[in-house]
Amino acid sequence: MTPTGRHFLQIPGPTNTPDRVLRAMAASTIDHRGPQFAELALEVLEAVKPVFGTTQPVVIYPASGTGAWEAALVNTLSPGERVVCFETGHFATLWREMARRLDLEVDLVPGDWRHGVDPQTVADKLRDDTGQRIKAVLVVHNETSTGVTSRVAEVRKAIDSTGHPALLLVDTISSLGSIEYQHDAWGVDVTVAGSQKGLMLPPGLSFNAVSQKALDASKSARLHRSFWDWQPVIEANKRGFFPYTPATNLLYGLREALRMLDEEGLANVYARHQRHAEATRLAVRGWGLEVLCADEREHSGSLTGVIVPDGYDADKIRAVILDRYNMSLGAGLGKLAGRIFRIGHLGDFNDLMLAGTLAGVQLGLVAAGVPIDTTGINAALDRLQRP
C-alpha cells in the first residue's frame, strides 16, 4: 500500500527526532576552532552531565554507539587482560565479540536472553578470582534486543561486597535519558551511550562518562588507541574544543534535546517511560501474548519484546504492519530472529502515540492472522486513563 500520513517509527532506536531538535540542527556549520563553537561545546559538555548522573568528564565522539564501546575498552584495558561479560542478549554478545577481537580474554556467563545480569553471579565470579585477574565487568544496562534491564546499582553492590578492584563498564545506549541511571551514585567507571535512542537525536554521536578510577586506569592501559584516546579530547574540551572536527550540527541538536529533558525533568522522563512500558505490557498480555522479559524487576522502560505464538513468523507480522499501517517495529535479533518483535516506546513520545502504536500492533496481528484477544488494547487504554 502507498504510505500516507505520518510514519510511526516504533523501533527501539533510532527514535522519533522532535521538531525542535531538527530545527536546532538546521543551522550553518560554524568554525569549530572559533569562539562561537567553544561556547556551544562548553555548554553542552556541562549540560550532558546530569543525564548521566555525573560531575565527571563526558567524552563525546562523532561515532555510533559501537565506537563508544571500543573507546571504553581501549582506554581502560591491556592486551590479554580478563573481562567478564554476560550473555543477556544480542548487544551484550556483540560487545563481547569486540572485546575478543581486541585481544582481551573474555569470561562469558551464559544467559537465556530473558533475564538481566544476576548480581549474585557477579559476586561469585569476583570472589573466585583470588588472583584478581579480572580487570573489568561489562554490563548492558538495557538489552535492546530483549527489553530486559539489568540492575546496575545491585551489580555495583555485588562487586563492592567482594572488595575486588574490577572496573564496571556499562552500556546505556538504549537507556540513557529514558530509564533511571546514576553514573556517580552507582559507582560506574565507564558509561557508554549513543545519541539516537533516549537522547532523541539522529545517529552519529556517542559518549563515554568516565570515573576518576577509569581515568587512572587509562594511564597504564596498553591496548592500542589513537582516535578513541580520552586524554586529548578531555584536554581540548577544557577550552571548548576537540582534537578533530566535531559533529557540530549534532551538537546543536544535543543542546536542544538536553533542554527538552531538563524542561520535563529527568524524574518525569523516567516515570513517563515506565508508565508507557506498563501500558504496553498490559496490551500484550491482554492479547494473550507473552512478554519476553521473564523477571518482573527487570522490565525495560524503553521497549517491550513480544513473543509470537509458535507457527507464526514475527518478521512477516512486522512486514504486514509496515505495509498496511506505515509503522516500523523492531525485529528479533540474533537467535530471536522471527520469534519476537519489539515495540519501542522511548524518546519523544506521548500517550496518543502509544495508543496509536498499540492499535497498529493489534490491527497488524489480526491482519497477519495471529489469534489474539482483540479487547487486549483496552487494558492499556485503562492504564493511560490514570496518571
- Residue whose beta carbon is closest to ligand PLP: 65
Binding residue (CB under 6 A) for ligand PLP from 137, 139, 140, 159: 140
Secondary structure, 3-state, the chain:
CCCCCCCEEECCCCCCCCHHHHHHHCCCCCCCCCHHHHHHHHHHHHHCHHHHCCCCCEEEECCCHHHHHHHHHHCCCCCCCEEEEECCCHHHHHHHHHHHHCCCEEEEECCCCCCCCCHHHHHHHHHHCCCCCEEEEEEECEECCCCEECCHHHHHHHHHHHCCCCEEEEECCCCCCCCCCCCCCCCCCEEEEECCCCCCCCCCCEEEEECHHHHHHHHHCCCCCCCCCHHHHHHHHCCCCCCCCCCHHHHHHHHHHHHHHHHHCHHHHHHHHHHHHHHHHHHHHHCCCEECCCCHHHECCCEEEEECCCCCCHHHHHHHHHHHHCEEEEECCHHHCCCEEEEECCCCCCHHHHHHHHHHHHHHHHHCCCCCCCCHHHHHHHHHHCC
- Regarding 178 and contact with ligand PLP (CB under 6 A), the answer is no
Q: Which is nearer to ligand PLP, 13 or 347 (CB)?
A: 13
Q: How far is the CB of 68 from ligand PLP (least distance, A)?
A: 8
- Regarding 171 and contact with ligand PLP (CB under 6 A), the answer is yes
In this chain, which stretch among 3-11, 33-41, 59-67, 373-381 interacts with ligand PLP, using CB under 6 A?
Answer: 59-67
Q: Which is nearer to ligand PLP, 187 or 203 (CB)?
A: 203
Binding residue (CB under 6 A) for ligand PLP from 8, 10, 11, 13: 13
Q: Which is nearer to ligand PLP, 142 or 237 (CB)?
A: 142
Binding residue (CB under 6 A) for ligand PLP from 8, 52, 61, 91: 91
Tell how strand 82-86 and strand 303-307 pair up.
Answer: unpaired
Q: How far is the CB of 244 from ligand PLP (least distance, A)?
A: 19
Nearest to 135 by CA among 98, 91, 168, 161: 168
Q: How far is the CB of 169 from ligand PLP (least distance, A)?
A: 12
Distances (CA, A) of 58 to 53, 82, 193, 211: 11, 25, 10, 9
CA distance 173 to 156: 19
Q: How far is the CB of 173 from ligand PLP (least distance, A)?
A: 4
Q: Which is nearer to ligand PLP, 173 or 372 (CB)?
A: 173
User: Binders of ligand PLP: how many residues, by CB under 6 A?
Assistant: 12
In this chain, which stretch among 60-68, 215-223, 228-236, 313-321 interacts with ligand PLP, using CB under 6 A?
Answer: 60-68
Q: How far is the CB of 203 from ligand PLP (least distance, A)?
A: 6
- Regarding 62 and contact with ligand PLP (CB under 6 A), the answer is no
CA distance 94 to 24: 33
- Regarding 302 and contact with ligand PLP (CB under 6 A), the answer is no
In this chain, which stretch among 170-178, 222-230, 308-316, 333-341 interacts with ligand PLP, using CB under 6 A?
Answer: 170-178
- Regarding 152 and contact with ligand PLP (CB under 6 A), the answer is no
Q: How far is the CB of 69 from ligand PLP (least distance, A)?
A: 7
Binding residue (CB under 6 A) for ligand PLP from 137, 173, 257, 284: 173
In this chain, which stretch among 32-40, 166-174, 181-189, 323-331 interacts with ligand PLP, using CB under 6 A?
Answer: 166-174
- 224 CB neighbour count, 10 Å cutoff: 10
Residues between 197 and 226 that touch ligand PLP (CB under 6 A)? 203
Binding residue (CB under 6 A) for ligand PLP from 16, 54, 174, 178: 174
- Regarding 194 and contact with ligand PLP (CB under 6 A), the answer is yes
Distances (CA, A) of 178 to 80, 174, 267, 314: 35, 8, 10, 26
Q: Mask: binding to ligand PLP, 65-84, rule CB under 6 A, as x and -?
A: xx------------------
- Regarding 144 and contact with ligand PLP (CB under 6 A), the answer is yes
Residues that bind ligand PLP (CB under 6 A): 13, 64-66, 91, 140, 144, 171, 173-174, 194, 203
